[in-house]
Amino acid sequence: MDRGSKPAVLVTGGAGYIGAHTAKALSERGYFPVVFDSLSSGFREAVRWGAFVHGDIRDARAVADALDEYGAKSVIHFAGLIEVGRSVVQPDLFWEINVAGTVSLLTAMRERGVERMVFSSSAAVYGQGGRGALETIPEGAAKAPASPYGDTKLACEWMIEAQCRAYGLSAVALRYFNAAGADPSGLIGEAHEPETHLIPLAIAAALGEAKPLTVFGDDFDTPDGTCLRDYIHVNDLAAAHVAALEVELPAGAFEAVNVGTGKGNSVREVVDAVGRAAGRPVPHSVGARRAGDPPSLVADASRAKELLGWEPVCSDLDRIVADALRWEAQPAYGSGRRATDRKAQPAS
Ligand code: UDP
């Protein structure tokens, strides 16, 4: 791609799900995304905008070289491990890649004078929260991660904040709620291996590509007994990253911001929405609760609007499901291995 005078933005993990959608949004906004990805879980086919550098964030020299080559003065950092269950059995790996990887990245950024960072954080930093079951969660809520994955995200936030104070970097950590959906172009979408998320699994069950869905518990203290989550369209998430890149902040400032809609949908509502979109009901049964699942995780999304001027525009549940279904019916990459994994998933 011809770069022209476009400002370069280093996007670590830009071959992954949210990273690829953000690279597209950056390109549409006039930036030149430089995707830096090890391809350990991302897809080369997802890198369609800007440049691609094959590298590992723990390799500070490779990061510094990429920053030099493209003259990037800002970094959006997605690279890391995301599977909550795996973090329980391999916590050392999560600390090594997510935390030590971020230390190494920050060192290269400091040496090269990077001025702005946007960090991919998570509602997992709140854990069960300790608030009333159906209350929305503001950024100031207690931080009590329920998994080593959540611990690593919180540790990274602390470290980035300290780096801001010490060296004048300004940074925004975006705490995502439930990312879902796909770009309507059909070029990029969600492809995790193995897939554990509700919407892709419900779609795969409806399409007959996977075993029937198991609803993890219907005896929670929620309106219909199933868990409430705040589903946010991946393109709304991508737009939040661009807003966080551009927001005016003084040198040394650190902000942590929820990215959600402020509205919860239950597992049952998702199953019904997928059935409507697919034109056939989702085969499913109700099983036991999944360990660690809080009854409700819904953002108080007011800070994102106040600080970033950001609001969701395409996160209506039917829109999310329609876009996810279009992708799942014809994924541009990731389908072969994923289909095998789906069928190989143990009954839960
Ligand atoms: N869920 C479910 N069956 C599945 C996968 C997920 O009932 O096969 C439920 C899960 O218990 C949670 C919601 O769907 O209440 C969203 O789960 P997901 O794994 O997509 O995201 P999480 O909220 O865990 O980040």
Question: Which distant-in-sequence residues (6+ apart) come within 8 Å of 31 by Cβ?
Answer: 6, 7, 8, 9, 50, 245
Helix H or strand E segment including 348: none
Helix H or strand E segment including 38: none
Domain borders along the chain are 8-180+232-259
Q: Helix, strand, or coil here: 128?
A: coil
Q: Quote the pLDDT of residue 292.
A: 81
Residue with token string 């525009």: 313
What number does the ligand 1 atom closest to the CA of 287 have? Answer: 7
Q: Residue 337 above 80 pLDDT?
A: no
For ligand 1, mutation pick of 267, 274, 286 (most atoms within 8 Å of CB): 267
- The verdict on pTM exceeding 0.75 is yes
Average pLDDT on 322-334 reads: 95
Q: Indicate the Cα dihedral angle 82, 88, 89, 92, nearest 10°.
A: 70
The predicted-structure confidence for 154-196, as pLDDT tens digits, reads as follows 999 999 999 999 999 999 999 999 999 999 999 999 998 888 8
Residue 293: CB within 6 Å of ligand 1?
yes
Whole-number Å distance, alpha carbon 289 to ligand 1 midpoint, is: 10
DSSP assignment string, 242-311: HHHHHS---TT-EEEEEES-S--EEHHHHHHHHHHHHTSPPPEEEEPPPTT--SEE-B--HHHHHHH---
Q: Quote the pLDDT of residue 291.
A: 84
Task: Look at ligand 1, atom 21, and give the residue with the nearest C-alpha.
Answer: 197
Residue 196: CB within 6 Å of ligand 1?
yes
As given in the structure block, the two tokens for residue 292 are 């660690």
Question: Which distant-in-sequence residues (6+ apart) come within 8 Å of 140 by Cβ?
Answer: none
Task: Report the chain's mean pLDDT, rounded to a whole number.
Answer: 93
| C-alpha to C-alpha distances, 175 to 68, 135, 137, 172, nearest whole angstrom | 29, 17, 11, 10
Q: Residue 335 above 80 pLDDT?
A: no
Print burial letters for 185-214: b (CB count within 10 Å at least 16), e (below 16): eebbbbbbeebbebbbbbbbbbeebbbebb
**Could you give the residue ranges of the DSSP H alpha helices within the chain?**
17-28, 60-70, 84-89, 91-94, 101-111, 148-167, 198-206, 234-246, 267-278, 302-308, 317-329, 335-344
Q: How far apart are CA 128 and CA 217, in angstroms?
A: 16
What is the band of 339 on the pLDDT scale with cuts at 50, 70, 90? very low
Residue 214: CB within 6 Å of ligand 1?
yes
The predicted-structure confidence for 242-293, as pLDDT tens digits, reads as follows 999 999 999 999 999 999 999 999 999 999 999 999 999 999 999 999 888 8
Whole-number Å distance, alpha carbon 278 to ligand 1 midpoint, is: 19
Question: φ and ψ at 85, to 5 degrees?
Answer: -60, -40
Class of domain 8-180+232-259: alpha beta
Q: How far apart are CA 37 and CA 13, in angstroms?
A: 5
What number does the ligand 1 atom closest to the CA of 215 have? Answer: 7
Give me the residues paired with residue 179 across strands: 232
Q: Quote the pLDDT of residue 293.
A: 86
Q: Residue 132 above 90 pLDDT?
A: no
Question: Which distant-in-sequence residues (6+ apart) come within 8 Å of 237 by Cβ?
Answer: 18, 21, 22, 174, 176, 179, 259
Q: Helix, strand, or coil here: 319?
A: helix
Task: Look at ligand 1, atom 1, and give the residue with the nearest C-alpha.
Answer: 198
Answer for the pair 94, 81: CB distance below 8 angstroms, yes or no. Answer: yes
The predicted-structure confidence for 190-225, as pLDDT tens digits, reads as follows 998 888 899 999 999 999 999 999 999 999 999 999
What number does the ligand 1 atom closest to the CA of 217 have? Answer: 7
The predicted-structure confidence for 240-255, as pLDDT tens digits, reads as follows 999 999 999 999 999 9
Q: Residue 314 above 50 pLDDT?
A: yes
The predicted-structure confidence for 38-83, as pLDDT tens digits, reads as follows 999 999 999 999 999 999 999 999 999 999 999 999 999 999 999 9
Q: Helix, strand, or coil here: 117?
A: strand
Whole-number Å distance, alpha carbon 247 to ligand 1 midpoint, is: 33
Q: Residue 340 above 90 pLDDT?
A: no
Residue 198: CB within 6 Å of ligand 1?
yes
Whole-number Å distance, alpha carbon 77 to ligand 1 midpoint, is: 25
Q: Quote the pLDDT of residue 344.
A: 35
Whole-number Å distance, alpha carbon 267 to ligand 1 midpoint, is: 7
Answer for the pair 226, 294: CB distance below 8 angstroms, yes or no. Answer: no
What number does the ligand 1 atom closest to the CA of 124 have? Answer: 25
Report the chain's C-alpha Rg in angstroms. Answer: 19
Average pLDDT on 137-161 reads: 96
User: What letter would DSSP give residue 142?
Assistant: P
Whole-number Å distance, alpha carbon 287 to ligand 1 midpoint, is: 12
Residue 197: CB within 6 Å of ligand 1?
yes
Residue with token string 């050392």: 92
